Amino acid sequence: MRSETDAPMNPKPSDAATPVVSDFYDRFPYPGDPLQDGPPPGYNWRWCHESVLAAVHGAVPSQADPAASLRILDAGCGTGVSTDYLCHLNPGAQILAVDISAGALEVARERLQRSGAADQVDALRQEQRSLLDLKGEGPFDYINSVGVLHHLREPLAGMKALGSLLADTGLIHLFLYADGGRWEIHRTQSALSRLGAGSGAEGLRLGRELFQVLPEGNRLRQNYEQRWLIDTAADSNFADMYLHPQETSYDLRRLFGLIETAGLQFVGFSNPSVWDLSRLLSGELLERAAMLPEREQWLLVEDLDPEISHFEFFVAKQPVQSNRWEDDSALLQAIGRRQSCLWGWPSSSLLGPDLEPIALSASELALLEAVERQPNTALGDLNLGPETVSIARGLLLRRLLLLEACRT
């Protein structure tokens, strides 16, 4: 394993907001997750490349096929929370983590040193650089950029820069602010700006005081206490939400326009349950909604759910075809692999990829145990009986079973 930590920032910032944003994060290194010794707690499947491939493509590459080391870019790594998970969930990868804030990177380096992250990968570089200044570093198989582009003066330039660094078959995971569910945040930001609070220690003090003095029935205070109180317990998290000097938010139409103008393809949300209309509608209304084109269905969800505060999604250079495993014979010839993002395995009572409670039947548990015992065996050769197809499909639906396409 090779670990490198330093590269100088471009003396002339490529984005006009870089100086003020880097100064802000030097004051308030973000995210404010505590440091700890040992691996990070739990998992996030969006930072596990194998789980991402299964979610987007419906299949994962064969473990028997020789492949070059996975190359990952963490673009805007902040205090290293995402980088830590990327290292531990993708052993053997080559990872480049960049951020414009020296203060945030200082925390990130300590975090990864204490967690042993560098020991999990072939190479780890942590460098103070803008994602706009990485020409020559690609191509990357997977790019993670969570909560970053919306802090650029020109988010489109950032989207194009990431696209230029992506391998032809690679994926980018992005997280951008949504207008609709941030109305109370925007009003609070506006009020603090009008009061001259600033984006430093005084702004932090005044911001916290504001939520204490507003009447209990005030909707800004209610939304803060009900939705954001825990998330903003750390000062850096509070500052990031209410005091940030540069941010942009989107609705779905503008989001898709941004992606298309950057020459990229939207390939799916990384929180698909949020965009499931059945959680909002039923009966005739749901039947009518189901007749709409897919994007119109998403726009309807946006209309009906005023609490969607962000968009998290995957993009690629070209359209992606997903294997739905509708053919029984192809399913039985596929090689199974257990989802690695499970809490409590081996057991019939688990937490799933999204940390949701999972109760496995005896036959489901038997299939997952069988693919672990016989890792290079097709599902049809596991001798689990005639119910193998239905059991496998149920596990696939819950993303507990990953499949390798049949080797030819």
Each residue of 181-203: b (16+ CB within 10 Å) or e?
A: bbbbbeebbebbeeeebebeeeb
Residue 78 — very low, low, confident or very high, per pLDDT cuts 50/70/90? very high
Stronger pLDDT, 8 or 336, i.e. the higher one: 336
| Statement to judge: residues 285 and 349 lie in one domain | no
Q: Is 66's pLDDT higher than 80? A: no
Q: How far, in Å, are 98, 178, 185, 220 from residue 226 at the CA level?
A: 34, 19, 13, 10
Burial class, 272, CB count within 10 angstroms (exposed 0-12 / middle 13-18 / buried 19+):
exposed
pLDDT digits (tens, 9 = 90+) for 304-337: 999 999 999 999 999 999 999 999 999 999 999 9
Show which of 242, 277, 294 is a domain's final residue: 242
Looking at residue 67, its pLDDT comes to: 61
What tokens does 294 get? 């897919």
Mean pLDDT score of the chain, rounded to an integer? Answer: 95
pLDDT digits (tens, 9 = 90+) for 159-217: 999 999 999 999 999 999 999 999 999 999 999 999 999 999 999 999 999 999 999 99
Q: Is 3's pLDDT higher than 90? A: no
Residue 63 — very low, low, confident or very high, per pLDDT cuts 50/70/90? confident
Count of the separate structural domains present in the chain? 3
| Statement to judge: residues 31 and 172 lie in one domain | yes
| Statement to judge: residues 205 and 153 lie in one domain | no
If phi over 0 gives left and psi between -120 and 50 gives alpha, with beta otherwise, what is residue 359? beta
**pTM score, two decimals?**
0.95
CA distance 131 to 138: 12
The amino acid at residue 51 is S
Q: Is 42's pLDDT higher than 70? A: yes
Sign of the CA dihedral with 323 first, then 324, 330, and 334 last: positive
Q: How far, in Å, are 282, 314, 390 from residue 293 at the CA level?
A: 18, 20, 29
Looking at residue 296, its pLDDT comes to: 98
How many other C-beta atoms can be found within 10 angstroms of the C-beta atom of residue 338?
19
| Statement to judge: residues 185 and 163 lie in one domain | no
| Statement to judge: residues 111 and 218 lie in one domain | no
| Statement to judge: residues 160 and 190 lie in one domain | no
Show which of 303, 322, 341 is a domain's final residue: 322
| Statement to judge: residues 365 and 334 lie in one domain | yes
Show which of 242, 262, 296 is a domain's final residue: 242
Angle between helix 201-213 and helix 183-194 axes, rounded to 10 deg: 120
Question: What are phi and psi for residue 45, nearest 5 degrees?
Answer: -60, -25
Residue 407 — very low, low, confident or very high, per pLDDT cuts 50/70/90? low
Domain range spanning residue 188?
A: 180-242
| Statement to judge: residues 171 and 184 lie in one domain | no
In the chain, % of residues over pLDDT 70: 95
Q: How far, in Å, are 19, 29, 89, 123, 199 from residue 102 at the CA level?
A: 12, 9, 25, 21, 18
Q: Is 99's pLDDT higher than 60? A: yes
| Statement to judge: residues 90 and 103 lie in one domain | yes
CA distance 248 to 243: 13
| Statement to judge: residues 113 and 160 lie in one domain | yes
Residue 5 — very low, low, confident or very high, per pLDDT cuts 50/70/90? low
| Statement to judge: residues 30 and 56 lie in one domain | yes
